[in-house]
Amino acid sequence: MTPGSLDFLSELVRVRVGIVLKGEKAFMAETRLGPLARREGLESVEALLIDLRQSRDERLAKAVVEAMTLAETSFFRDPAVFSHIRDVILPALAAARPDGMVRVWCAGCSTGQEAYSIAMLALQAQAAAPNLKIDIIGTDISHRALEKAHSGIFTQFEVQRGLPIRLLLEHFEKAGDTWRVSDRLKQAVRWRQLNLLEDRRSVRAFDLVLCRNVVRYFEPETAKLVLEQMAPALAPDGRLVLGMEETLTASAFEPAESSIRVYRRKRQVSQAAA
Amino acid sequence: MKMCLVVDDSRAVRKVARRIFEGLNFDTAEAVDGLEAMAFCKAAMPEVVLLDWAMPTMDGLEFIKLLRQEPGGDAPIVVFCAEENEPAQIAEALDAGADEYIMKPFDGDIVASKLAQVGLL
């Protein structure tokens, strides 16, 4: 791949979704765009990028950006975070709501493992908080990731990354070489395509927002903007959870459990919004 | 250092598993079937057993049933690591006393993930 094509690709991804490609860019481009180039009947990734530079084909541009931004994910990534959500956050939020309904937004949900993990946790948390009900929405920029998330079908490799075997037997059924989540879990989650950089016209209130291992790929200013935009969407007693290696840049939040990257809205901000 | 006993009749699998466990700072020992594994455990219980199912002489399921009846035999964390991947078979292994279950093929990430779940990492 030529440096010119690599620069074009980097700029395309940065402008479209705010993500700065780091590290072995050329290698990443080859492995992620290779299958797309083959599907398009092109002989190489370089040919794909040249084609896109000339045609400015919107459909192709979207497919390229999607392929470059698919994130790695696993079930119950960072178990301490999920234990805290199950044992502390969900029961407290349910207790503070007359109908026990807790609304969860998984922002940047990729192929759905995190959202399904929350759905499994909620069923466990109901033992201690019987009135807990859960409504989960998973959003991602990638249609392909969302299609997979919605299908609820995972490979044997995927279900062995982070998912305890007893939860696999409880919530999945074997379908040939793959495993399919139960209808019960599927019903707990809805999926929507969303670019976090776009202004959101309708702001819903969520009680728990997970935005984990998403903003670390953004430029600092973009990360700050994206997180600030989430503040009005969070209930005054709600919680925002970031990834373990992410630091909060937005001033609208303050630490609730800083060791596991759990944040709440700052008081004055929630009053101003009320 | 914690001791992991790798029980598998395949030399290749034992070699891969040994490398993974040593990378996770475990001492490792190997046994080619349940009988050899039982002799090892009677001498000194390991902290963790990585256990294949189908093996000559004594298979993994027979081994774990015997192990759990031994004095101190409830202590080791037993992680099955087997080709068998039907839910009913996995449930049978768990009922017999297995703590976790890995479906082959496996890699280092899966082993680390399973050990973290049983509190060994």
Q: Please report the domains of chain B, with CATH numbers, ordered by start residue.
A: 2-117 (3.40.50.2300)
B55/A28: higher pLDDT: B55
Distance CA A62, CA A64 (A): 5
Which among B86, B94, B110 has CB closest to A160?
Answer: B110
B120/B75: higher pLDDT: B75
B87 close to A (CB below 8 A): yes
Contacts of B85 in chain A (CB under 8 A): 156, 174
Number of inter-chain CB pairs under 8 A, A vs B:
34
Class level of CATH domain A79-273: alpha beta
Q: CB–CB of A227/A211 below 8 Å?
A: yes
B96 close to A (CB below 8 A): no
Q: CB–CB of B27/B3 below 8 Å?
A: yes
Which among A74, A156, A166 has CB closest to B94?
Answer: A166
Average pLDDT of the segment spanning B91-115: 95
Task: Write phi, then psi, for B102 (nearest 5 degrees).
Answer: -110, 130
Q: How many CB atoms lie within 10 A of CB A15?
A: 11
The CATH architecture assigned to A3-69 reads Orthogonal Bundle (1.10)
Q: What is the ipTM of this complex?
A: 0.95
**pLDDT number for residue A203:** 64
Average pLDDT, chain B: 96
A79 close to B (CB below 8 A): yes
**Residue in A with minimal Cα distance to B94:** A166
Which among A156, A165, A174 has CB closest to B94?
Answer: A165
Which among A74, A164, A174 has CB closest to B87?
Answer: A174
**pLDDT number for residue A274:** 46
**pLDDT number for residue A202:** 60
Domain A3-69 shares a fold with domain A79-273: no
**CA A269 from centre of chain:** 25
Tokens coding A100: 């026990």
Tokens coding A248: 């909060």
- Series of mean pLDDT values for 10-residue runs along chain A (274 residues): 91 87 79 88 94 93 85 86 96 96 96 97 93 96 92 94 96 95 96 87 83 89 91 94 90 93 80 50
Distance CA B92, CA B82 (A): 13
Nearest chain B CA: its distance from A185 CA (Å): 18
Going from N- to C-terminal start, the domains of chain A cover: 3-69, 79-273
Contacts of B113 in chain A (CB under 8 A): 74, 160-162
| Cβ within 8 Å, pair A74-B102 | no
Contacts of B117 in chain A (CB under 8 A): 79, 164
**pLDDT number for residue A28:** 81
